[in-house]
Amino acid sequence: MRILLVEDEKQLVTEVKTFLESEGYICDLAFTLLDASKKLADSPFDFILLDLGLPDGDGLDLLPEIAKYQDGSSIIILTARTEVDDKVKGLQEGADDYLSKPFSFLELKARMHAILRRKSGLKKDQIQLQGFTIDLSGKSVFFGEEEIKLTAKEFSLLQFLLINKNRVLNRFQLAEHLWGDHLDDDYQSNYIDVHIKNIRKKLGVHNSINWLETVRGLGYKVKI
């Protein structure tokens, strides 16, 4: 999952980036409104973590650009401001949530998962599918009491398909999610197909995974 962190406090940026990457996220950085504006126009992001007090203006001014270029992305405002009006304005103009500084990284993670659940229609982090328990927060898969070992990339791919359940995702969307950059088209397709094959092999030993579908000529989807 790709995240844009818009923040000018260098120490906080380092700490948040380190935490997010340890959780398997791809984290891009912007320290100013101008820098953020360029990145928003160039690349898709799943989450945007947006500071309000930036060197060249108010982070709230980016919300119209996010709405224009980042359809479907989720926004969490990071702010040291205590004014209720700023928070209300941010939520009214498209932000999904806000966190007041200083904040716990574990709370940030929990807020992100809550937003993903709400937008994807999932009621909780643990999903039950034909005997499988898939824990999105714990990044684990079980069949009954037995844990099924997936690589970080395999789990990330499965998680992304689950979050976008009943929606067909093409190989390039899936590759963007996994690697966060534009690789050679054949490289993307081949590696996505290999990851899907491995997921099916590891889970299929235990039970049918007919809910992980190949949509010929288009891509893959999880049907729930």
Instruction: Let me know whether 68 and 134 are in one domain.
Output: no
Domain range spanning residue 156? Answer: 126-222
Neighbours of 131 (CB within 10 A): 12
What contacts 214, CB < 8 A, 6 or more positions away?
Answer: 196, 220
Please report the sign of the dihedral spanned by the C-alpha atoms of residue 139, residue 142, residue 146, residue 150: negative
- Sorted by sequence, the CB contacts under 8 Å of residue 93 that are 6+ apart come out as 60, 63, 64, 67
Same domain (yes/no): 140, 59: no
* Helix, coil or strand: residue 217: coil
Say what the pLDDT of residue 88 is.
80
* Torsion angle in degrees (nearest 10) through CA of 201, 204, 210, 213: -10
| Number of Cβ atoms within 10 Å of the Cβ of 101 | 14
Is-above-0.85 flag for pTM? no
Tell whether 62 and 164 lie within a shared domain. no
What would the pLDDT profile of 89-127 be if each residue is shown by its tens digit? 888 888 999 898 889 999 999 999 889 888 877 777 788
> According to the model, what pLDDT value does residue 141 have?
96
**Together in a domain, 130 and 102:** no
Which one of 120, 150, 180 terminates a domain? 120
Task: Examine the pLDDT at 179 and tell me if it is beyond 90.
Answer: no
Average pLDDT, the chain: 88
Question: Is a pLDDT exceeding 60 seen at residue 59?
Answer: yes
Residue 197 confidence (pLDDT): 95
Question: What letters, b where the CB count within 10 A reaches 16 and e where it falls short, cover 15-33?
Answer: ebbeebeebebbbbbbbeb
Extended beta strands in 7-51, E state: 26-30, 47-51
Same domain, 48 and 107: yes
CATH code, domain with 175: 1.10.10.10
CA distance 119 to 134: 18
User: Domain boundary at 55, 90, 120, which?
Assistant: 120
Torsion angles phi and psi, residue 104, rounded to 5 = -85, 135
Query: Percent helix, strand, coil in the chain (nearest 5)?
Result: 45, 25, 30
